Chains A and B, each alone.
Chain A
Amino acid sequence: MSETIFLHPATFFILGAMLLPVAQRFKLQKILLLVVPLLAFYQIRFLPESFGVCHFMGFELIFGRVDKLTYVFLHVFTLMAVIGSVYGLQVKESGQHMAAFLYVAGSLGVTLAGDYLTLFIFWEMMAFASTFLVWYRKRTKSIEAGYRYLLVHTAGGLVLLAGIFLRYQNVHDLSFGQIAADGATLADYLIMIGFMLNAAVPPIHAWLPDAYPEATVTGAVYMCAFTTKTAVYVLARGFPGFEALAILGAIMTLYGVGYAVIENDARRILAYHIVSQVGYMVCGVGIGTAMAINGACAHAYAHILYKALLFMGAGAVLEMTGKSKLNELGGLYKYMPISLIFTVIGGISISGFPLTSGFISKSMIIAAAGEHHRLGLLLMLTLAAVGTFLSVGIKLPYFIWFGKDSGVKAKEVPWNMQLGMAIAAFMCIFLGFYPDYLYNMLPFEVHYHPYSAYHLSETFQILGFTGLGFFLMVKKLKPEPKSNLDLDWFYRKGALVFMWVASKPISIANDWIGEVYRTVGMRFTLAVARAMSWFDWEGIDWVLDGSAKGVVKGADELRTLQTGKVQHYIGGAVVALFLILIIIVLI
């Protein structure tokens, strides 16, 4: 058994997280931070096809199931952990690194899980650990955003769990495999919704642009890679060929990019752009052909690297200037040229320039849509590519490094942050020159050649004329210090209404009871006291006081129920759900 435990790459990260505080004391933290992800990145090559199968309370748990689909995601997740660790070396707090390691462990655990229970355990571990990456920013806004993030993910986790239980009741089997699109039941759709929440599919996407920009500099780099792409993996594993995913994915690409065009904060633009890019993958999964699934995996691989690179670039600016709003930045090319070069490499990769990773991955999904004769999807995805180059390829670097000189002075970031960016930038270019490195890892055989004359021509035209459009409209795009409403409005404003409804009547009732006690009770007491002075004072006092106090006390207890202690609500909800499920399963 102990050998099996060490087969699982997540074990390294969990152990590493436990050892970090000790390593910190002995000044070994940096070494540990490098060793753990490198070890995992090396070790995944030697995983057997199946390991860690154990029986628990009549369920079969499968901790390790490895095939080509698993491997490509394991490869990029562990590579990303290396990059994130290098980029975060200068962070002294062990806690941040522990959260990041547990987050990565959760992600690897989900990727390797062969049954729904194991998947769920690691799924929740991811949500819980990543919340701390937001909280460690230690600003009021981050604490609040972290709570919202945790609440939304808890809700999503409960939907997933409900789906898992119902599925067990239907088929008495918890193994996690492909679900046929035509025989899907309510249980399957609940599981899919749970997955879709983590993939940030509208209308349940708003947690992402709400939380990611509030995370720490290194935290955001981790977060942009793992949650959504783990969700893409489970969708690709369980739900290929679901039409709803194809349509929602295409809508996502435009939804995210639309907000990226109008937002002001650099990291919020990038967060919205994750929604857009993950849309390509969700759409690929929804199309469901071999080429589309290949495209979704290839795009996930490429996307993790360049999106992390962009987040590292924006993070470098934030780290050095304390600013991330475009209207407060500009003219930084004199001070941070190296970060500029790396960020632009990320920007041209995401836009799909020839000789970068975006060119060889994004086009695969678009070509799959074309081969499937889905003209609407093809045009939506291509339009999103136009918006991508506009918002992240040009607008973002232009207003940070060029544009109007903001007078902000800065220095170049420390060597390790530059190294982190350099690794990611190298991978972006390397994959563009040598796509077979990635294509050979994909789950199906690849019959796709990105460097055809027509594809090049299409790309030249789209990128060139989008650039022309930007410079024609550059005045219109001037960043404004505003925020834009999104669907999180419903729960952010809704929560206020809920709290008001919950607190007002209760406090009114409480005041009223107090008032009654003060006026009626006191007067009555006094009247009785005056009228019946011969009566036993003690008795009267005891009866009246006691009952009145009881009423007040009851009201107070009701009021403390409404303290807004989130964990109580979550706990209550979980308990209630479990009770319902137990009843359902037993009956």
Chain B
Amino acid sequence: MIAQLIGYLRDHATVMKWLFFAFLAFAVVFDFLAARHHPHFWGDSVIGFWSLFGIGGCLGMIVICKGLSHVWLMKGEDYYDE
């Protein structure tokens, strides 16, 4: 039952994708309307600041962490048994 539902949603991935983009658009529009009572710093008063923070932070984190892993931290799974 649940599995069939998930399968159905997976078959309609394109629709899901557009729904997701619609949500992103909604999030930015909603930010225009949200009242800012106590801005803690300048970023709180910039429209869409957290959108940029989210995408920038996410991509930056992936690049930096994956990079560190590949050039330095990554070892075989039995590294300590050798």
Contact = CB atoms under 8 A, between A and B. Distances in A.
Q: Are these two chains actual partners, yes or no? A: yes
Interface of A: 257-259, 261-262, 333-335, 337-338, 340-341, 370-371, 373, 375, 378, 382-383, 386-387, 390, 402, 452-454, 456-458, 460-470, 472-473, 476-477, 480-486, 492-493
Nearest to B1: A337
Interface residues on B, range: 35 or more
Given A454-B34, A461-B48, A370 B58 contact: no
Given A341-B2, A457-B34, A458-B50, A262 B69 contact: yes
Contacts of A484: 69, 73-75
Contacts of B26: 460
Contacts of B33: 453, 457
B53 A387 contact: no
Given A460-B30, A482-B74, A262 B66 contact: yes
A386 B53 contact: yes
B65 A261 contact: yes
Given A464-B24, A465-B55, A484-B74, A258 B34 contact: no
A463 B54 contact: yes
A469 B3 contact: no
Contacts of B41: 370, 375, 378
B6 A482 contact: no
Contacts of B58: 386-387, 390, 465-466, 468-470, 473
Given A261-B65, A461-B31, A482-B75, A337 B54 contact: no
A460 B75 contact: no
B35 A375 contact: no
A304 to B, nearest CB: 26
Nearest to A465: B54
Contacts of A454: 34-37, 44
Given A337-B2, A482-B74, A485-B72, A464 B54 contact: yes
A372 to B, nearest CB: 9
Given A338-B2, A387-B58, A457-B30, 8 more contacts: A337-B1, A452-B37, A460-B27, A461-B51, A465-B53, A465-B58, A473-B62, A483-B76
Contact of A462 (B23, B36, B53, B69): B53
Contacts of A464: 20, 23-24, 27, 51, 54
Contacts of A378: 40-41
Shortest beta-carbon contacts, A-B, top 4: A469-B58, A465-B54, A370-B40, A337-B2
20 contacts: A262-B68, A262-B69, A341-B2, A387-B58, A390-B58, A456-B34, A458-B50, A460-B30, A462-B50, A462-B54, A463-B54, A464-B20, A466-B54, A469-B54, A469-B58, A469-B59, A482-B69, A483-B74, A483-B76, A483-B77
A485 B65 contact: no
B59 to A, nearest CB: 5
A261 B61 contact: yes
Contacts of A457: 27, 30-31, 33-34, 50
B50 A473 contact: no
A454 B35 CA distance: 6
B74 A461 contact: no
Contacts of A458: 50
A546 to B, nearest CB: 44
A98 to B, nearest CB: 30
B80 interface: yes
B51 to A, nearest CB: 4
Nearest to A488: B80
A337 B73 contact: no
Given A262-B69, A462-B54, A484-B73, A469 B6 contact: no
B55 A466 contact: yes
A493 B80 CA distance: 8
